[in-house]
Structures are given as structure tokens and as C-alpha cells.
Chain A
């Protein structure tokens, strides 16, 4: 059995699209919470929520694709513990990409602000308005997002280490424009 040398074009496209989207969501999320209430703040919150729902749908699409397409195997030269750590980190990234938008949706419900995707498609409010629960979910949403950001930093660092120190294919096979060595 020879695993694919590269990720599929779809997997690469989804990876980088989500990378941009999630980076934007994180930055906007950090920025917006400190804003004084204004029409702009309401707009930014809505955009953040719309983008978050979009990211949630994209990650489902991505998981579906991932289940149908085996990713390339890690380099055989990689120590076992690193292979396991990489796999664990990837699973955790997927888990957080699902749980973070869900926590945001539930937080919105509990805070009494329904999520209406692009102002058109209303998502059901799974929780009744409850201030304390809303505040708790806000903390959860924020904490998970920081955790995700830390994991993304580790993920990026590991990819760069593969490319610059180990000089293997791990980064390049996820890039749309570089040939594998």
C-alpha cells in the first residue's frame, strides 16, 4: 500500500480556506469583545457569527472529505512519539473546530441573541435566555478559542520544523504551489 504523497487538491483548498477564515474569526473575536456598544459592534458580532456558522459547515465538509480520502502518511523517519503527537494534535484541532462554533451558538442562545445565518437562515435557540449560563458559555468559547490558537501555533511550528529542520515533505504536501522534494 502506498499512501498518497500529497494531500488532495480539495483537502489543500479546504485547509487554507479554513486557516484564513479561522484566523480572521479569532482576530475579529479578540477585537470585538472590547468594543463599546455601537452599530458597528452589532454588525461585527453578526459577521463573526455568520462566519462562525460557515466555518462549522466547512469543517463538516472537510471531515466528510477526510473520511473518504486517506491523508499522506507521516515520514517513516519520524519518531513514533512525534507521529502520535501529530495525530493527537490533528484530532484535537478537528474537535475544537466543531466545539468552538457550537459553544458560540449556545452562548448566543443563552444570551438571548438568536443566530441568523447571513441574516436569512435562523438557527434554533437550543437554550433559553439565562444570563449566568450565557456568561459561562462566553468564558468557555473564549477559553477554547485561546486553546485552539495555541494549538495552531504548535501546528505551524511543527510544520516549519519539518520543512526547515527535518527537511521532509510534511509542509510542502499541504502547499498548493510547491512540488514535493
Chain B
């Protein structure tokens, strides 16, 4: 009798843990970062965004049901130097007075096998929206999941750098973006 009850309790407990879906949804800004590398006169220059927010949900058992929205505060840019920081918030670059944030909104996630995935969605910067595919990997470590990925954007697709800056021989069109988003289990 006692044995039966114990077994039943154990079974129930087991069922409960399985039913409780693992979901990584609590964005950890302190552990996350979004960096980018541009090329100026053929020389790589590193930069990053200090402030951004991510609203996401990722269940390893159902990765294709995952969703993410990332909003970047463009005014928090570190473009490599004070000169550049002052310049890129201006009209010819991000025009942050009119367009303070850049965003990525996912519409779907594809599993590529192993820990590799692709987030499909739309990137909006400076009032322009483009389809985008963000390849990323996921690493789970206890309470945390780390999403790492990178993509190359063409800045002129979003009119980032107009007028004399549209010359891609000085500042290359391609900008490499590297992101790490960390989320905790709910």
C-alpha cells in the first residue's frame, strides 16, 4: 500500500515536471550584447549598442514556436569614437530624432539541426523594413539560455549614411552584426 502510494506520488511528480514546459523568456540585459563591425577605408572598426530590449520566448522542446522581438535604442551607440558617435545619430545616418529605435520582429523559427536555428522576420531601421534571416545557436546552461548569432546587413538598404556617406569606398556597405541574447527560465 505504502509502496503503491509512493510510486504514484513519484509518477505524479515526474508527470508534473514534464508537463511544466521549459521556457526561456526573461531577457538578461547585463549578459547580452549587440556589437557590430564596419569597415572604414578597408579597416575594421568595432562598435556596439549599450541599450536594447528583447522580448522572447524559447521552448527547446518546441523551438519552431519560439518568437523574439529585439528593440535597439540607437542613441546608445558606441560607433568607435566620440566623433563617430556624434555623427551617426544625425540625419544622414540613423536620424534618431525621427527614428530612435531599430527593431527585429520574428515571424518564425526554423530548426537547422543540433543547436542551430534560424529566426525569420523583419528588420526595421530608419523607417525602412526588410526581410531578414538571423542564424543563431542556443546553449542552455541551467537557468539560462544563450542565443548567439550574426548577420551582415547592407547599410544602404536602410539609407544609413546618406549624401557623401553613401560612398561605399570609404565606409563599406556591409556591416557585420554580432548578437548575444541571454534569457532566463520563466
Q: A residues within 8 Å of B by Cβ?
A: 37-40, 42-43, 45-46, 111-116, 119-120, 122, 129
Binds A, one of B60-68, B81-89, B111-119: B81-89
Given contacts A37-B87, A38-B164, A39-B165, are A114 and B44 in contact (CB under 8 A)?
A: yes
Residue of B nearest to A122 (CB): B43
B171 touches A39 (CB 8 A): yes
In angstroms, Cα B43 to Cα A120, docked, is: 9
B167 touches A39 (CB 8 A): yes
Q: In the complex, which residues of chain A have a beta carbon less than 8 angstroms from the beta carbon of B80? A: 112-113
What are 14 of the A-B contact pairs (CB < 8 Å)?
A37-B83, A37-B86, A38-B164, A39-B167, A42-B40, A42-B41, A112-B45, A112-B80, A113-B80, A113-B81, A119-B41, A119-B42, A119-B43, A129-B46
Residue of B nearest to A44 (CB): B41
Interface string of B142-164 (1 = CB under 8 A from A): 00000000000000000000001
A43 touches B170 (CB 8 A): yes
- How far apart are A39's CB and chain B's nearest CB, in angstroms? 4
Residue of B nearest to A114 (CB): B43
Q: List residues 71-101 of chain B with CB under 8 A from any CB of chain A.
A: 80-81, 83-84, 86-87
In angstroms, Cα B42 to Cα A38, docked, is: 16
Q: In the complex, which residues of chain A have a beta carbon less than 8 angstroms from the beta carbon of B87? A: 37
B42 touches A39 (CB 8 A): no
Given contacts A37-B83, A37-B84, are A113 and B43 in contact (CB under 8 A)?
A: yes
- How far apart are B73's CB and chain A's nearest CB, in angstroms? 22
Q: In the complex, which residues of chain B have a beta carbon less than 8 angstroms from the beta carbon of A114? A: 43-44
B46 touches A112 (CB 8 A): yes
Q: In the complex, which residues of chain B have a beta carbon less than 8 angstroms from the beta carbon of A42? A: 40-41, 170-171
Given contacts A37-B87, A112-B81, are A43 and B41 in contact (CB under 8 A)?
A: yes
Residue of B nearest to A39 (CB): B170
- How far apart are B147's CB and chain A's nearest CB, in angstroms? 26
In angstroms, Cα B164 to Cα A42, docked, is: 12
Residue of A nearest to B41 (CB): A46
Q: In the complex, which residues of chain B have a beta carbon less than 8 angstroms from the beta carbon of A37? A: 83-84, 86-87
In angstroms, Cα B39 to Cα A122, docked, is: 13
Given contacts A39-B170, A42-B170, are A113 and B84 in contact (CB under 8 A)?
A: no
